[in-house]
Structure 1
Amino acid sequence: MTATPRHTRLSGLEPLVITPDLLFINVGERTNVTGSAQFKKLIKEGRFEEAVEVARQQVANGAQILDVNMDEGLIDSEAAMVRFLNLIMSEPDIARIPVMVDSSKWSVIEAGLKCLQGKSVVNSISLKEGEAAFIEHARKVLRYGAAAVVMAFDEDGQADTCARKVEICTRAYKVLTEQVGFPPEDIIFDPNIFAVATGIEEHDNYAVDFIEATRIIKDTLPGCHVSGGVSNVSFSFRGNEPVRQAIHSVFLYHAIRAGMDMGIVNAGGMPIYDDLDADLRERVEDVILNRRKDSTERLLEIAEKY
């Protein structure tokens, strides 16, 4: 008798079952104070009702999970997380999708999880502070019945090469599945998306490293998912939204083919790969795939046109 394939099951008021035919899950990024100046301003000024509208817009634009992050020096992150989550939980059109509780502080994550119904996602846990802390956090995530984003980050820092990304994710997978009893389908690896086209040669292969690591992780660690913060890749072009969106589109086209099946994006804000201007697409692709030495210069040549 063949075993039934185990799918990731998340939920807000409605279930989200992540099956292989769902090629890519959009995680809405705009309810994040580190990624949206508008959202940060609203939260800092205590305009929470208006901040709820940002969440509503993300859902309307097709976000299937909502990433919520309140990590900002001048904000009481825990209080802001609780207040905001309680507000969106009382809005059925927003509360229908699962929430990704996003914080670098465990106390904020735990406070957030206590507000949520259904099955949420924790963003994130990692081996940064060693195995003991990692296991402790993973067990708590399991107790709350959540899935977890696991960063490619260990005691020696963030992984930036393909080999390090694969090494850390493999180690984390073994610890989670063999020592914690964590369901593989609830493990979402984030192998770190870094900015390309920075003018620093060592950064030129960052997108290729992510894409290749994704391919290996999906081939060798059964059941897991791969996600990442997509807007990081285009950070060098901040201020030029059309070029940034083209970079996101090309990056995702290749990353999804390699097995990336989830990502933090501006839901509804991205052009389709095939609809991009051919010259722009080719030059962006040269940058993403690190196909030529002068790819950054060639993209800069035409960037102002868009």
Structure 2
Amino acid sequence: FVNIGERCNVAGSRRFCRLIKNEQYEQAIDVAREQVQSGAQLLDVNMDDGLLDGPYAMSKFLRLIATEPDIAKVPVCIDSSDFSVIIAGLEAIQGKCVVNSISLKEGEQAFIERARLIRRYGAAVVVMAFDEQGQAAETQRKYEICERSYRILTEEVGFNPCDIIFDPNILTIATGMEEHCNYGVYFIDATRMIRENLPGCHVSGGVSNISFSFRGMEVCYFTIFSGEMSVLVTLATTSSGSKTEVKLLTQK
């Protein structure tokens, strides 16, 4: 299992957000250190906030943690919906990292350009099941988008399949709408199709969307890991020191 520390995220940690907004970077480094000490093997860093200069904050924080030997030994996931922030992170990072994320939302040309830049820096990439028509909800659409992305990345961009991580989107199931009840099943079925037909790549997904509206979150996680997903999952990532945010990372 690979544990991903997710507290260096201005959207997911009030403490981290406050420290970054106040430019208390030395104290913010402690958040990363605490996660490494709790067993994090990968640090997710996100600076997406309207009141922040995202590229500046990402670059500065990554450069600072690179000077801390106990933190620098752990690779980083540069997490942003703003590609300028991702570029700033790639320029500041030392060693191999993961970029989260790109998609076909803006078409193939933009997808290829961004993928080539990411590959140039030697990073792995998370690819969302999202295209020009929107986010995929059902099994076949999820697979079709991932298959199309895989073909482009491996044949046109030159990505090694082991550097591709697909996120087929586990959408929230307990919304009260009947058509949403099978979202978890759609993810599992899409994951199976990806593993069977797209060799070498990885698959990730946010399990919290399955348990979001239910009591006994840990029970939900245990059921997922001990049931159908135990066949598909080879790596599981959690927010270090906490079981409240769990993602799955599967590998062919």
The answer as to whether partners of 2:48 and 2:81 remain within 8 angstroms in 1 is: yes
User: Does 188-197 or 98-107 show the bigger shift?
Assistant: 188-197
* TM, length-normalised to structure 1: 0.74
SS of the residue corresponding to residue 88 of structure 2 reads: helix
Partner of 1:172: 149
The answer as to whether partners of 1:193 and 1:233 remain within 8 angstroms in 2 is: yes
CA distance in 1, matches of 2:205, 2:43: 14
Structure 1 residues 253, 138: closer, same or farther in 2, change over 3 A?
Answer: farther
What amino acid is the match of 1:43? I
- Among 111, 114, 119, the residue aligned to 1:134: 111
CA distance in 1, matches of 2:2, 2:76: 13
What amino acid is the match of 1:87? L
CA distance in 2, matches of 1:254, 1:58: 29
1:227-279 per-residue CA deviation (whole Å, 9 max, x = no partner) reads 12333433335xx7xx33433443344474242445553123239xxxxxxxx
What amino acid is the match of 1:230? V
Q: Unpaired segments of 5 or more residues in structure 2?
A: 245-252
Task: Give 1:89 shift.
Answer: 0.9
Partner of 1:267: 240
Aligned pairs for 1:156-305 (under 5 A) are 156-236=133-213, 243-254=216-227, 256-262=229-235, 265-270=238-243
The answer as to whether partners of 2:224 and 2:230 remain within 8 angstroms in 1 is: no
Structure 1 residues 38, 249: closer, same or farther in 2, change over 3 A?
Answer: farther
SS of the residue corresponding to residue 223 of structure 1 reads: coil
SS of the residue corresponding to residue 111 of structure 1 reads: helix
**Number of residues paired by the alignment?**
244
CA distance in 1, matches of 2:3, 2:230: 16
Partner of 2:248: none
SS of the residue corresponding to residue 240 of structure 2 reads: coil
CA distance in 2, matches of 1:34, 1:108: 15
What amino acid is the match of 2:230? R
What amino acid is the match of 2:243? M
- State the percentage of identical aligned residues: 59
* TM, length-normalised to structure 2: 0.89
Which structure dedicates a bigger proportion of its chain to strand?
2
Partner of 1:43: 20
Q: CA RMSD in A?
A: 2.0
SS of the residue corresponding to residue 117 of structure 1 reads: coil
SS of the residue corresponding to residue 241 of structure 2 reads: coil
1:151-207 per-residue CA deviation (whole Å, 9 max, x = no partner) reads 111001111111111110011001111111111111011111222222222222122
Q: Unpaired segments of 5 or more residues in structure 1?
A: 1-23, 272-306
Partner of 1:153: 130
Greater Rg, structure 1 or structure 2? 1
CA distance in 1, matches of 2:45, 2:83: 14
